[in-house]
Structure formats: structure tokens, C-alpha cells
């Protein structure tokens, strides 16, 4: 058995736990919306066509914000198509995902759905095929109280109260040549800054997110962020990050070590933003919105795309419906640890996506909904993390990886809520084959007792849930958790994610 240690003290804090860390992402892609969130006629559907079984799982998941409507989809989207009487809404071709969009679910349906679930909406504007005027029109329709053409039109459509959307994304992945309306960094930065300044003239209290690189592997990464922020620094509040990870060629060790790359990505973007701010002599600090992140077996889907017929236009096709296993859940739990660890800079995040498409929730049309393995670390982290993130010092053996070199087998985050005294430890064992005995020194928190200890693991790291067996993989009580003299002992199985919650004497 390997051995690792951890120390956390309330005197060493990172930042508050941001509720926006536990955001999700809904794009008009595949079955995320249609037969995912929205399915009129489903046995659980309400009067507006929203699936009740999915809504219950979203509540359990603990989602706080949802980014909408894309994603690549937004760069060809006409928001006007998705409002007004449904029998008059046009069917359009979606070029991003090569499908038909019925527009039966649009802005007002999204805002209504968010309101019922207590979710903060996060809206993206089309800066691909459209631009300044369309963004201002959408903002007026969504947020203006009344007395103007577009706000009165919203009222005519059955929504007299403004949606009051505070957070807006200025396009999506505009660095990518696959994006409709793709621009170079300078051109995009100027366009985003122009739109941002005009939107603030309409509503000065907006929070605006400018597009960063669509991934740290882009050839323009770093230079893109610097150039875009040189143009838009004063006009925006956040810059976006997107990252997806997958196991390549059976290299489980590298896959489990993916967060080493994620950590470097976050640190690099933060440093670049600060460098631009220093050059501009601007004291404002740009925050990071990690508004797409997940495990995504993109290489598999690229191979499938090569054989799909080019003339096959379908509504809500079954695409990119990854089936997640134990190892995927461990990586997702580790990504949440990274987001918590960087709470001083990452103040919003959106796991992509919410239902069916690379998602924690799966559905069958007319049938059940169930939890994928990645559902569990997200739900338990969202439920358990509160108060402030503490600086967790971890000492652990290294595991050699082909992609990232030596990666510590243990990674962890600790949170503490002074108001309640509750503390939580989130920890992964990234070893492919060795259990780890963890000694966590929590004496500074004066822990009084363990309230819960759960571990997600399996003898088969590739075990997964399915419609036929939806609970094949679920977290189980970790009976080895023991607290003595302020030190927590815990045995971590290989390829595992765990959460331990404690009551403490520190308030």
C-alpha cells in the first residue's frame, strides 16, 4: 500500500466557494434539449413540456447556473426563431451539428425552466454569423422591463417580467476554424469589445465573458488570450477556458493525470491576463470562466463523423452520447478539485453538457432518465463544498505518465464553512493499481467527528451505468475513515474519488 499525507488549516485559505463553480451547459446539440430537458408527451412532462424526471435529477445534481444556447450552435443561431407562437417558429438547418432545429425550445422556455429549478441563466450571443445589433436586440428582449418594442414583444409572448440575465458570453470558441464566422484574435477582440461596450450602455451591471482559446492545444493559445484582452480588457469581466480529456490508446495513467494539464492551463491564462492588465496599467483583475469542461471521447466521434452521410439532416439525432465509466468519474471529480483549488481566479464554470450529450444525465425518449457515473462526484461536491476553500498541502508518491511525467497519486481539496462548522475533503487516488493510506492533518479545524465518508470505486475501472443497470456504479460508504486527535485516516482504493464531510469546532 502507498502512503500519502495532507495538511489543511483554516488560517490558509484560497477563496470563497463560488456557487457558480457548479454550473452546467445546455446546447442545441443532439438530444440535450429535445428528449433531454424538453419532451412534450413524456409521462413526467409538465404543461410546458419539461421532463419532470430530468428536472428532479438536475436538482439532485446541484446545478447552479446553465450556459445557453451554445456552444458551436450559437454562432449560426437566430434567437428570434425561438420566441413567439410555437406554430409559427421556423425549422432551420443547424450547420454546426448538421441537424434540423425546430425552435420549439428557445429563450423563454429556457428562462422558465431555469426559474422553476432555481438556476441562474447564462446567455451566449451570436458573434459568428451576427453581431452588435442582434446582441443588443436580444438583450433588450431579455432584460428590459417594458415600454420598448422588443420588451413589449416579450410581454406579448407571455413573459411580462424581464428575465434579468446577468452573465453573457460574447460568442463561442471564435479561435476555432470550425466556428461559423471564425475570426483572428485581433478582429475578434475588437468585435467583442465593441459589443461589450454597447451592451453596457444598455445595462451597466452585466457580467461579460470574452472568448479565450477553445483549448490549450490550439496553436494560437496564449497569443490569442493576450491579443483579445489587449482589445477588450476594460470592457469585460471574465475570459473563458474550455478543456476536455479522454483516455488515449489504453493509457489509463495519463488519463488519470489529466488535471496536471488543467492546472497548468488555468495558471497560464491567469498569468497572461495579469500580464496584459499590467501592460495596460489597469488595476481590474480579469476572472476566469471555465465554461466548458468534461471528459469527452472526441477522437471516437471524429472517426464516426467521417462515415456519416452529408445529406442526412435529422432533428435531435443521437450524437456524442458518451457512456461514462469509473475512471471517467474519477477524472471529473479531480477536475472539480482543480476548479475549487483555483477559486481565487475561476469564479464560474460549466460542465458540458447537462443531458444526453457528454452528460451526467441520460434519458430515453418516452422512457426513464438515469445517472451516469460522472453524476455522482459533481452532485456530492456541489452539496458538500461550502464556505471557503483551504490550501491543501499534499505529499504523495508520483505515478509516471507518458503525457504529463510524474503525477502525484493523490490530489485533494478541502473546504470549511465557518457559519456551520462543516468541513469537506475531496480526494482522488490516481494510481492505476495501488491503494493509498491517507493521513490528513486537520487539527487546525478542531474536527469533532466524521458525518459521512463515501468512495466511488470498482474492481473494474471501466464499469459503467446503463438504462438496464442504472446503479451499477454508485458511491459507497468508506468504512476505513477514522478520526483520531484531529487526524483523519482514510484508505483510498486505486482509481477512486472520495468525499469525507466532518463537523468541526471552528466557527
201: left (phi over 0), alpha (psi -120 to 50) or beta: alpha
What residues contact residue 377 under an 8 Å CB cut-off, 6+ apart? 329, 330, 332, 333, 336, 456, 497, 499
Q: How far apart are the first and last CA of the chain?
A: 36
> What percentage of the chain's residues is helix, strand, coil (to nearest 5)?
30, 30, 40
Amino acid 303: pLDDT: 59
Alpha-helical runs (H) found in 203-322: 223-232, 252-256, 259-280, 298-305
> In the predicted model, what is the mean pLDDT of residues 15-25?
98
CA–CA separation, 450 vs 465, rounded Å?
29
Distance of CA 271 to the CA centre of its chain: 22
Amino acid 12: pLDDT: 96
Q: What is the pLDDT of residues 217-247, one digit of tens each?
A: 999 999 999 999 999 999 999 999 999 999 9
CA–CA separation, 34 vs 212, rounded Å?
29
Say if residues 17 and 382 touch (Cβ distance below 8 Å): no
pLDDT higher than threshold 90 for residue 13: yes
Query: For residues 379-390, b (16+ Cβ closer than 10 Å) or e, as one string?
Result: bbbbebbbbbbb
More confident residue, 506 or 94: 94
The CATH fold assigned to 3-8+389-504 is Immunoglobulin-like (2.60.40)
CA–CA separation, 269 vs 213, rounded Å?
9
pLDDT higher than threshold 60 for residue 480: yes
> In the predicted model, what is the mean pLDDT of residues 255-278?
98
Domain ranges of the chain: 3-8+389-504, 20-180+261-269+282-384
Q: What cell does 350 get?
A: 460549466
Query: CA-based angle 299:463:306, to the nearest 5?
Result: 20
How many residues comprise the chain?
A: 507
What residues contact residue 412 under an 8 Å CB cut-off, 6+ apart? 6, 337, 392, 394, 425, 426, 427, 428, 440
- Reported CATH class of domain 20-180+261-269+282-384: alpha beta
What percent of the chain has pLDDT above 70? Answer: 98
Amino acid 355: pLDDT: 98
| Residue 378: Cβ within 10 Å count | 24
pLDDT higher than threshold 90 for residue 180: yes
pLDDT higher than threshold 80 for residue 483: yes
Distance of CA 397 to the CA centre of its chain: 30
Kindly report the average pLDDT of the chain as a whole number: 97
Which three-class secondary structure state does DSSP give residue 448?
Answer: strand
Alpha-helical runs (H) found in 289-403: 298-305, 326-341, 375-384
Catalytic residues: 173, 292
Amino acid 306: pLDDT: 52
- Alpha-carbon distances of 267 from 205, 260, 271, 357, 499, rounded to whole Å: 28, 11, 6, 29, 25
Sign of the C-alpha dihedral computed for residues 335, 128, 88 and 167 taken in this order: positive
> For residue 20, is the peptide bond before it cis, meaning its omega torsion is within 30 degrees of 0?
no
Amino acid 506: pLDDT: 73
pLDDT higher than threshold 60 for residue 157: yes
CA–CA separation, 215 vs 320, rounded Å?
19
Total-model pTM: 0.97
Say if residues 201 and 155 touch (Cβ distance below 8 Å): no
CA–CA separation, 432 vs 142, rounded Å?
49
pLDDT higher than threshold 90 for residue 343: yes
CA–CA separation, 49 vs 45, rounded Å?
5
Alpha-helical runs (H) found in 157-222: 185-202
Q: What is the pLDDT of residues 275-316, one digit of tens each?
A: 999 999 999 999 999 999 999 998 887 755 555 556 789 999
pLDDT higher than threshold 90 for residue 371: yes
pLDDT higher than threshold 70 for residue 50: yes
Amino acid 312: pLDDT: 85
DSSP H or E run through 110: helix 107-117
Sign of the C-alpha dihedral computed for residues 428, 240, 224 and 226 taken in this order: negative
Amino acid at each position: 500500500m502507498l502512503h500519502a499525507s495532507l495538511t489543511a488549516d483554516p488560517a490558509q485559505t484560497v477563496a470563497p466557494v463560488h456557487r457558480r463553480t457548479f454550473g452546467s451547459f445546455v446546447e442545441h446539440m443532439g438530444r440535450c434539449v429535445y428528449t433531454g430537458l424538453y419532451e412534450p408527451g413524456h409521462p413526467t412532462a409538465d404543461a410546458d413540456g419539461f421532463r419532470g424526471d430530468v428536472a428532479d435529477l438536475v436538482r439532485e445534481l446541484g446545478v447552479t447556473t446553465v450556459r445557453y444556447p451554445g456552444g458551436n450552435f450559437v454562432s449560426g443561431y437566430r434567437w428570434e426563431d425561438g420566441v413567439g407562437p410555437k406554430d409559427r417558429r421556423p425549422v432551420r438547418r443547424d450547420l454546426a451539428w448538421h441537424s434540423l432545429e425546430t425552435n420549439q425550445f428557445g429563450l423563454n422556455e429556457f428562462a422558465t425552466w431555469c426559474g422553476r429549478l432555481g438556476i441562474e441563466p447564462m446567455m451566449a450571443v451570436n458573434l459568428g454569423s451576427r453581431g452588435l445589433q442582434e446582441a443588443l436586440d436580444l438583450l433588450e428582449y431579455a432584460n428590459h422591463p417594458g415600454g420598448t418594442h422588443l420588451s413589449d414583444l416579450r410581454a406579448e409572448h407571455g413573459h411580462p417580467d424581464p428575465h434579468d440575465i446577468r452573465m453573457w458570453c460574447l460568442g463561442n470558441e471564435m479561435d476555432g476554424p470550425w466556428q461559423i464566422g471564425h475570426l483572428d484574435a485581433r478582429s475578434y477582440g475588437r468585435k467583442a469589445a465593441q459589443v461589450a461596450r454597447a451592451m453596457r450602455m444598455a445595462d451597466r451591471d452585466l457580467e461579460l465573458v470574452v472568448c479565450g482559446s477553445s483549448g490549450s492545444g490550439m496553436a494560437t493559445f496564449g497569443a490569442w488570450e493576450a491579443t483579445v484582452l489587449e482589445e477588450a480588457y476594460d470592457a469585460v469581466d471574465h475570459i473563458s477556458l474550455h478543456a476536455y480529456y479522454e483516455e488515449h490508446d489504453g493509457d489509463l495513467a495519463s488519463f488519470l493525470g489529466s488535471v496536471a494539464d488543467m492546472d497548468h492551463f488555468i495558471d497560464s491564462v491567469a498569468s497572461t491576463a495579469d500580464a496584459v492588465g499590467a501592460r495596460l496599467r489597469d488595476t481590474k483583475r480579469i476572472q476566469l470562466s471555465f465554461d466548458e469542461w468534461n471528459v469527452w471521447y472526441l477522437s471516437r466521434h471524429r472517426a464516426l463523423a467521417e462515415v456519416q452521410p452529408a445529406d442526412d439532416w435529422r432533428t435531435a439525432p443521437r450524437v456524442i452520447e458518451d457512456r461514462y465509466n469509473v475512471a471517467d468519474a474519477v477524472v471529473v471529480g479531480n477536475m472539480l478539485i482543480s476548479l475549487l483549488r483555483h477559486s481565487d481566479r475561476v469564479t464560474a464554470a460549466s460542465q458540458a453538457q447537462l443531458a444526453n450529450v457528454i452528460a451526467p444525465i441520460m434519458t430515453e425518449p418516452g422512457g426513464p432518465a438515469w445517472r451516469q457515473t460522472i453524476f455522482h462526484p459533481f452532485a456530492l461536491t456541489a452539496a458538500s463544498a461550502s464556505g471557503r476553500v483551504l490550501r491543501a498541502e499534499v505529499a504523495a508518491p508520483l505515478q509516471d505518465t507518458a503525457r504529463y511525467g510524474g503525477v502525484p497519486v493523490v490530489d485533494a481539496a478541502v473546504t470549511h464553512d465557518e457559519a456551520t462548522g462543516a468541513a469537506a475533503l475531496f480526494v482522488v487516488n490516481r494510481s492505476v493499481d495501488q491503494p493509498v493510506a491517507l493521513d490528513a492533518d486537520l487539527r487546525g479545524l478542531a474536527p469533532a467527528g466524521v458525518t459521512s465518508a463515501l468512495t466511488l470505486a470498482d474492481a473494474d475501472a471501466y464499469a459503467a451505468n446503463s438504462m438496464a443497470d442504472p446503479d451499477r456504479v454508485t458511491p459507497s460508504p468508506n468504512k476505513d475513515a477514522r478520526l483520531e486527535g484531529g487526524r483523519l485516516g482514510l484508505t483510498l482504493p486505486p482509481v477512486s474519488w472520495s468525499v469525507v464531510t466532518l463537523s468541526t469546532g471552528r466557527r
